[in-house]
Structure 1
């Protein structure tokens, strides 16, 4: 136990300063963990006394990472696009295995060895890529969904591959029946775990949340993660696959957000251990002896997988941009490649030298992935064909008529609501979207939509950016939004640009790019919450609106590095103690309906005054006590805040007041 604590302390001691340095120079955090692993591993400084215990903790990190990815993944989207996604997976994996096997035979290796190498090269790193997709907020993007789907397919194939590799290493003939059964068993295991959990878990979760507290909910979620991981392993799947299924099951529950908050801190620590453990495997001494050969082989692996992955996604009827991004994300060996390579070396599929060579090349490809994704993203987006075919665009004559219109980049929930409102009030607008499903939805809503990428000059020019009055950008990827905003500002210096971001972290980035207004979801949600709280306490609308405006001014100024006078927010108590007016509409179920003003006796019972009744648009000022109240009358009340609260309770429920209010002078 002492050794484990010592090793974990050393892990943090070395990895923390390296990670801080990488954060300072804006390199991916995964890169820092991998480099730290190389330094403290047995082939460099040798600081870790028990690498095996670290590997066990690392596996927990992968399990938690896969669970959280499943929690944020759209199950409905996977089911809707399972054919296209799995087609891409089959093409990517099959083409890689076939090409590597044939190329290996040309180099003089046996077909069995070539098949083993093809399987090892075909798999990609689930842990590294999912970490990158999550950190870059790309889960909801087109390429993010395809990447995760292909990785999911690869994980399903791990079971038959684990059965194939020992057979390929021996002299016994391969049985197609055994391989088919292994693949079928893998699929049945996934389906069985999923549907069994789908039936039971939501009911149990609801019961725990209803009768227990937050601690019980967290314990149940941990039980679910470990339980599904264990059951998945028992059925022949990877434990990470079982955890991913558990996350997908809970992704559509009401407790998804709270579960994510509870698990996230633990996941970050354990998953960092995994990436450190991967770096520890690299043998620096062997690498330096043939550095050129290993670097060349790693570059060839990345280029081959990137190309074949791109072609596979293109053949699955995705756009060139999605295909190229997916190919980039899948262009490395995976952690299961390392496991299968070890198994193959034990069963004779690879010699010890071949195993060591593959291990170094695979680790180099994994080490290169984080910076490659970060640095190649902008380049790839420029390489994608700039002039895209406009499949659903309005006619040229309709486009020419657009002037002072609104361009909506992205047809998500915000884009849909905005376009519906603009349609109703007859303000010209055009949606720019690159997701096929969202384009179909826009066409169903009869919204004018242009197929294309708003981060490309030609697409924005086709949308009439020079003549547009407003641009609204609402996408989950902050880097993509920055490109759109910067390009739009360059093409039209006078356009008003609004951008939506999930967190206030990106407000300064988008403002610097040229956005006039950046709306963080977290901030606006907080405003909506306090607005509803104030309405519950009968604060008049004009006061609420005033406070909302003050908070927005203070908040958005703070995001931009400015500051308002904080005393402006301290005026609220003045409003609460001052005399106010409020209006109360009468409904059929209200106690005061059908009664006279004398029956109400508001002045005596609450201290508030009834100064007018509005009926059918006519104002009855200072009505007498015999005035009979009817449904849809609007009562105009005057008094202090506490008086108005009691008056409303009196009107609604006839609530008696123990101590009548006295007139205030």
Structure 2
């Protein structure tokens, strides 16, 4: 199959998948995932998971991190600090701590060939802690829930998860170093990250503002977009050259642009590239799912699907409740954050590249993550019914919240 035929196939699959999801009122990301599964080498085998397409998927991750960095701002963090640095921080730290210890305990009962090192357990816990920003935010926006009590908490946790990706992008590659050089690798990676980020953030905003102003004075929309792409990919290349990751550089580029007056213009200009390339990333994820392994190891896949879902649901619900949310709001927050996320795939890929994941575990984990994301719209769709079934006083709590909002307005 020629490159043109392959590109056309991806576009046709993406269009059909997105149209089907729109018709079913589901997030388009699920259409990309499903399209990737169907045309991939493990299903209809219409296309192979080529290196070129995986590179396009990496560009999707780069632009996703750029947009996350673009939305990062100190005023936003201050406004949401209770949920970001309260619920979000606790969710990430406790999920990683409990999941790492739990994985090591379970692995200790397995045969020697199946046991996991603490590096593998830590990498897996980092992937586990992530939830899907792309899917959840889209669903909440369509359901007009972004300003609801559970919506604010969900957004706070998602924002902290996005921030937590940055140190994890530094940590996981370093974990792949030989045991005798691990401490040195971790320290060196941390030093490089601190130096590079410090230099970029110290003088970066002034240079970025000066450069974008210089470009904007040329009054050329094409030139402005090209320079935004150049800055994003250039800083991503710089961080990769320093032995870190493409995604880290893209995040820093977004942060630098967010400090300039051109932030909103850049958001508008970059959105089409971000959505299309992120869609290609989800297609490549779907293509990598081997359904033969799902069928052959269905019990392991089911355990890897249900245990993380129930664990994150229970942990987030308990944390939200302990921080003052009502039972109904706490349970809704847990339901919305229980699934795997796109950054989980990024961290999983990094772990595989550094040989942190044994072959027998990589595909089942990937399958469970894809299935949890496919289940997310249905969990959210029936969240009200689930909450009202389990929380008898939810209708009263909802009524009091509506009355309070009406009085404020």
Fold similarity call, TM over 0.5:
yes
Change (3 A) 1:194 1:303: farther
335, 339, 353: which one pairs with 2:349? Answer: 339
Q: Counterpart of 2:251?
A: 244
1:275 positional shift: 0.6
Q: Counterpart of 2:127?
A: 123
Could you tell me whether the CA contact under 8 Å between 2:294 and 2:367 is conserved in 1?
yes
Change (3 A) 1:127 1:94: closer
Separation in 2 of the partners of 1:68 and 1:326? 25
Separation in 2 of the partners of 1:151 and 1:292? 31
456, 475, 481: which one pairs with 2:398? Answer: 456
Q: Counterpart of 1:145?
A: 156
Q: Which moved more, 1:253-262 or 1:272-281?
A: 253-262
1:365 positional shift: 3.0
1:27 positional shift: 1.8
Change (3 A) 1:221 1:337: closer
Q: Counterpart of 2:271?
A: 264
Separation in 2 of the partners of 1:259 and 1:381? 42
Change (3 A) 1:372 1:318: same
Q: Counterpart of 1:104?
A: 107
Could you tell me whether the CA contact under 8 Å between 1:15 and 1:32 is conserved in 2?
yes
Change (3 A) 1:232 1:78: farther
What are the residue-to-residue correspondences of 1:498-513 with 2, within 5 Å? none
Change (3 A) 1:458 1:197: same
1:46 positional shift: 1.2
Separation in 1 of the partners of 2:339 and 2:236? 27
117, 137, 142: which one pairs with 1:113? Answer: 117
Change (3 A) 1:230 1:325: farther
Q: Counterpart of 1:53?
A: 52
Could you tell me whether the CA contact under 8 Å between 1:101 and 1:114 is conserved in 2?
yes
1:33 positional shift: 1.0
Separation in 2 of the partners of 1:360 and 1:75? 37
Which structure exhibits the higher relative contact order, with contacts defined as CA atoms closer than 8 Å and separated by 6 or more residues?
2
Q: Counterpart of 2:297?
A: 290
Q: Counterpart of 1:214?
A: 221
Structure 2 residue matching 1:47: 3-state secondary structure: coil
Separation in 2 of the partners of 1:335 and 1:176? 26
Structure 1 residue matching 2:18: 3-state secondary structure: helix
**C-alpha deviations, 1:176-196, integer Å up to 9, x for none?**
464355345434443433333
**C-alpha deviations, 1:563-617, integer Å up to 9, x for none?**
xxxxxxxxxxxxxxxxxxxxxxxxxxxxxxxxxxxxxxxxxxxxxxxxxxxxxxx
1:10 positional shift: 0.5
Name the structure where helix makes up a greater proportion of residues. Answer: 2
1:57 positional shift: 0.9
**C-alpha deviations, 1:256-282, integer Å up to 9, x for none?**
222222221222211111111100011
Structure 2 residue matching 1:456: 3-state secondary structure: helix
Name the structure where strand makes up a greater proportion of residues. Answer: 1
Could you tell me whether the CA contact under 8 Å between 1:143 and 1:322 is conserved in 2?
no
1:230 partnered with 2:237: yes
Could you tell me whether the CA contact under 8 Å between 2:85 and 2:160 is conserved in 1?
no
Could you tell me whether the CA contact under 8 Å between 2:128 and 2:308 is conserved in 1?
no
Change (3 A) 1:195 1:112: farther
**C-alpha deviations, 1:534-582, integer Å up to 9, x for none?**
xxxxxxxxxxxxxxxxxxxxxxxxxxxxxxxxxxxxxxxxxxxxxxxxx
**C-alpha deviations, 1:23-55, integer Å up to 9, x for none?**
111122111111110000011111114522111
1:275 partnered with 2:282: yes
1:63 positional shift: 1.6
Separation in 1 of the partners of 2:387 and 2:376? 15
Change (3 A) 1:244 1:141: farther
**C-alpha deviations, 1:116-165, integer Å up to 9, x for none?**
13421432587942454256444994421331222321332222222213
Change (3 A) 1:195 1:326: farther
1:67 partnered with 2:66: yes
Change (3 A) 1:151 1:34: same
Separation in 2 of the partners of 1:161 and 1:151? 16
207, 213, 233: which one pairs with 1:200? Answer: 207
User: Bigger radius of gyration, 1 or 2?
Assistant: 1
Change (3 A) 1:146 1:308: same
159, 169, 175: which one pairs with 1:158? Answer: 169
Q: TM-score, normalised by structure 1?
A: 0.52
Could you tell me whether the CA contact under 8 Å between 1:96 and 1:308 is conserved in 2?
no
Separation in 1 of the partners of 2:7 and 2:251? 26
Unmatched 5+ stretches in structure 1: 388-452, 473-665
Change (3 A) 1:385 1:343: farther
302, 325, 340: which one pairs with 2:333? Answer: 325
1:300 positional shift: 1.2
Separation in 1 of the partners of 2:72 and 2:381? 22
Separation in 1 of the partners of 2:261 and 2:389? 40
1:235 positional shift: 3.2
Q: TM-score, normalised by structure 2?
A: 0.81
1:221 positional shift: 1.2
What are the residue-to-residue correspondences of 1:407-446 with 2, within 5 Å? none
